[in-house]
Amino acid sequence: MNSQLREKADRKDRAGWVIMAALILAELVSSFEASMIYAALTSFYRIYGDPIAIGWLVTGYMLVAMATAAICARLGDIYGRKRMLLFCLAMAMIGSLVSAATTDLGWIIAGRACQGFAGAILPLCYGMVREYFPSVRVAVNIGIVSATASGGAGLGLVTGGLLVDYGSWRAIFIASAALAITAMIAVWFLVPRSRQYTPSRIDWLGGILFVPGLCFLLYALGLGEDHGWGSMVQMSWFLVGITLLVAWVVHELRIENPMIDVRMIGDRQIGLTALIFILLALGTMNIGQIVMVMMQQPVETGIGLGVSATLAGALHAPGSIIGVIAGPLCGWYASRYGSRNAMILATISATLAWVGLTLAHGSLWAVTGWLFLNSFALGAAMSAAPNLIVEAAPAGRTSEATGLAQIARKIGMAVGAQLAAITLATSTIKVGQGVYPGPDAYLLTFIWVTAGCGLALLASFALPRSGAMSRQ
């Protein structure tokens, strides 16, 4: 009897690792597509010479990623997470092919926006971990998925650098499409069918109304360069964006089964976790847009380190390994000592990393060292945040709740990408045919990113001191 029980347990463990392998491959698509573009930004600067327009290669992706993190995560809770995961992978593949097939910057941005459907993959995977695995394994497995997000980002930088240097910027999109196809096959055959939680109605309006509001706010930010900060044109667009966001919140509060339950923000643990994600995402998660470009741009600009895309990506690789280790390590730490303490550790590390980058960024090895510390911070935060959310969220809305955190992260990354594009354009230097950010522009960018990390640290200390996997 004991041997039969052990054999049954072994089969269950093997099945669990097969599922995890498929989820890891799916998340690699999301993290790879989010980061691989950074390896090509210097090429786009050289070809198109418009820092703010090029910034939309990042911002456009983030905007769609926000919407899909909300809508597709919730639809996964309703109709089955496996079904929605396959849909998001297919859309990401299509976006990659669109960007690879054109030289028009507008169409490249459109393809990147379609790739943004990959933004729903992470919350869907979190929901599937909670659905398929016993509670004792949830924290560690969430840490593994989170580590994949960190490691995949590093893979995107390293592989992207190689593809850009030895191929072209098109190659990164072709590689993304191939990876998405592989993940679709793995999920289709290896992941079991998901449960469904069918509501009486679906709140489609609530799932999309916040996106145009945020778009208008980001567009208004970009108008400061041309029309002046505080101009009537800029303030008008700000007002339109804020009005739409307020209308969205009011609408969601009035709906019995909202697409995005903004009431969850009222939970102290969920609300503060979302705030921390926003503050960290402003800069720490957009580090490729800032530091990767600085490392690759010419030394003649006064701040560039003049390395190739391949070397810049390779220098991120050890940091990515640290991030991969930090994910499950902090998942284990959270299971023993609490997710709050894991988040405090993450925000302390992020703050120290950006203080260091602000004060010492003239040496390639110094910058690499700060990147290592930032990678550890990201791995720890990506593990601590979903565990904090899962502790506080109802089981039937797990993907939605973690999706809400991912929305917060994508909001921070979208706003941060646009702010970085704006501040990096405040001081430019022309070298040859390229136009690059100057030293003062980088210093200004480093300062506001560091301030965001400091605020995230304060918010971490305000988290509740205890949490449990409740509301199963």
Three-state helix/strand/coil letters over the chain = CHHHHHHHHHHHHHHHHHHHHHHHHHHHHHHHHHHHHHHHHHHHHHHHCCHHHHHHHHHHHHHHHHHHHHHHHHHHHHHCHHHHHHHHHHHHHHHHHHHHCCCCHHHHHHHHHHHHHHHHHHHHHHHHHHHHCCHHHHHHHHHHHHHHHHHHHHHHHHHHHHHHHHCCHHHHHHHHHHHHHHHHHHHHHHCCCCCCCCCCCCCHHHHHCHHHHHHHHHHHHHHHHHHCCCCHHHHHHHHHHHHHHHHHHHHHHHCCCCCCCHHHHHCHHHHHHHHHHHHHHCCHHHHHHHHHHHHHCCHHHCCCCCCCHHHHHHHHHHHHHHHHHHHHHHHHHHHHHCHHHHHHHHHHHHHHHHHHHHHCCCCHHHHHHHHHHHHHHHHHHHHHHHHHHHHHCCHHHHHHHHHHHHHHHHHHHHHHHHHHHHHHCCCEEEECCEEEECHHHHHHHHHHHHHHHHHHHHHHHCCCCCCCCCCC
Q: Of 184-198, 289-303, 405-419, which range is least confident?
A: 405-419
Q: Where residue 395 falls among pLDDT bands split at 50, 70, 90?
A: low
- Predicted confidence (pLDDT) per residue in 446-471, tens digit: 999 999 999 999 999 998 876 444 43
Statement: the pTM of the whole predicted model exceeds 0.85: no
- pLDDT of 115 over the 80 cut: yes
- pLDDT of 95 over the 80 cut: yes
Which pLDDT belongs to residue 150?
67
In 3D space, the residue among 122, 151, 143 whose CA is nearest the CA of residue 322 turns out to be: 151
Over residues 48-72, the mean pLDDT reads: 79
- Predicted confidence (pLDDT) per residue in 417-445, tens digit: 778 878 888 888 887 777 788 888 889 99
Q: Where residue 322 falls among pLDDT bands split at 50, 70, 90?
A: confident
- pLDDT of 296 over the 80 cut: yes
- Dist. CA 27–CA 226, nearest whole Å: 39
Which pLDDT belongs to residue 186?
93
- Dist. CA 174–CA 250, nearest whole Å: 42
Q: Of 154-163, 212-221, 332-341, 388-397, which range is least confident?
A: 388-397
Phi–psi pair at 443, nearest 5 degrees: -60, -45
- pLDDT of 27 over the 80 cut: yes
Q: Of 20-29, 42-51, 146-155, 428-437, which range is least confident?
A: 146-155
- pLDDT of 13 over the 70 cut: no
> Which two structure tokens, joined as six digits, stand for 148?
């994949």
C-alpha distance from residue 140 to each of 254, 336, 337, 358, 463 (Å): 37, 11, 13, 34, 21
Over residues 52-81, the mean pLDDT reads: 80
Over residues 252-271, the mean pLDDT reads: 78
In 3D space, the residue among 89, 79, 100 whose CA is nearest the CA of residue 36 turns out to be: 100
Q: Where residue 11 falls among pLDDT bands split at 50, 70, 90?
A: very low
- pLDDT of 140 over the 90 cut: no
Which pLDDT belongs to residue 2?
47
Which pLDDT belongs to residue 227?
64
Mean pLDDT of the chain: 80
Q: Of 17-31, 51-65, 192-206, 451-465, which range is least confident?
A: 192-206
- Predicted confidence (pLDDT) per residue in 352-394, tens digit: 999 999 998 888 888 888 888 888 888 888 778 877 887 776 6
* Residue carrying structure tokens 């016993």: 134
174: left (phi over 0), alpha (psi -120 to 50) or beta: alpha
- pLDDT of 3 over the 60 cut: no
Which pLDDT belongs to residue 1?
45
